[in-house]
Structure 1
Amino acid sequence: MATDGLVDSTTDAALKSLNDIVLPLPVSYMPQTWSWAALGAVLVALVALASWRWLRRWRANRYRREALAALEALGRQSMAQTATDRFGQQLAELLKRTALAAWPREEVAKLSGDDWAAFLAQHATSPHDEVLGPLVDDREYRPASQPSGEERARLIDAARKWIESHHVPA
């Protein structure tokens, strides 16, 4: 039996008594207890401290990045057969500039010969490869006696290791 679109009185009364669905309040993202807020603050502080220390270390090592870039350019120049007879002088000068950037001028500028080689060995973090000692002691002032290609590669590698790993007291 069709009611022709008419709803009986009982159904009509039941439909009118229905209310809309009440949605719950949205869940807050704020911590429910003070300990979670304190933990969050400590974590934010630790991240900020770690970021600050990383930035300080990165800025303090700027001279190392610049010295490594200059060493890379010197290495390319020396291996490309456009090497000048000043290779030993240029490498020793680069090491001296690197040391002057890290230590006080009064401590480093006066060093030469055996004292300069001892300084390089003393501040190396790994056992010092004796390749740099003869360079700064002997070849620094003798442009005529230039190293071979293989020896240049060893000198550049030793200089790179020293620049990357020398220890500067705080």
Structure 2
Amino acid sequence: MDQQNPLDQLRPNHLPDPVGLWPPAMGWWLVAVIVIALLVLVTVSIRRRWQKNRYRSEALHQARQILADYQVHQSLHRLANESNELLKRVALHAFPRAQVAGLTGDAWSQFLANTGDIPEFLHHSAFNNDRYHPEIPLMPPDGSPDKMPENVYELTRRWIKKHHA
């Protein structure tokens, strides 16, 4: 009797089709949605922060311009007045109007010192009422009038960068 092996009667094995890259599995769709959402949130957050602090960069540019103008007119009183005017505009932008608008003299110096954590404002004649009297020489706290313009600029710049509303 001719006995045949039953396994010889089977068809040869065939491999399944290879797994394609498209469409991705559900998990990859979820990962893509999460990544896109995070990118949108980070972008919105960065844009809001930039817009919120844009006034600082504009004010720093104006402070540099005030110092450059001083090189032309060489008036310490004008430098002090323009710097204070810039600081007041920045303060009005960052703080409630009722808190800032009426401040002058020592109260203004105290406000600048407190909100910027810069105590040098308290003893600087360019940031109190001395700047309104052209006959009174303006002096920084260390008493060296040669460094007055740079000192006023540096205090103005530091307050614009550091103030916290």
TM-score range normalised by the length of the shorter chain: 0.7 to 0.9
- Give the direction of change, closer, same or farther, for the CA distance of 1:131–1:35 in structure 2 (3 Å limit): same
Q: Deviations over 1:10-66 (max 9, x none)?
A: xxxxxxxxxxxxxx889435532x222222211211111111111111111122122
- Give the direction of change, closer, same or farther, for the CA distance of 1:54–1:132 in structure 2 (3 Å limit): farther
- State the one-letter code of the partner of 1:68: L
Which of 143, 156, 159 is matched with 2:156 structurally? 159
Identity of aligned residues (%): 31
Rg comparison, structure with higher value: 1
Q: Deviations over 1:66-124 (max 9, x none)?
A: 2111100011122x243334111111111111101111211110111222112112211
- For residues 130 and 147 of structure 2, the distance between their equivalents in structure 1, rounded to whole angstroms, comes to 16
Structure 2 unpaired stretches of 5+: 1-16, 140-144
Structure 1 unpaired stretches of 5+: 1-23
Is 1:106 aligned with 2:95? no
Q: TM-score, normalised by structure 1?
A: 0.71
Which of 147, 152, 161 is matched with 1:150 structurally? 147
- State the one-letter code of the partner of 1:44: I
Which of 120, 125, 128 is matched with 2:118 structurally? 128
- State the one-letter code of the partner of 1:140: R
Is 1:38 aligned with 2:30? yes
Question: Which structure features the higher share of helix residues?
Answer: 2
RMSD: 2.3
Cross-structure match for 1:96: 88
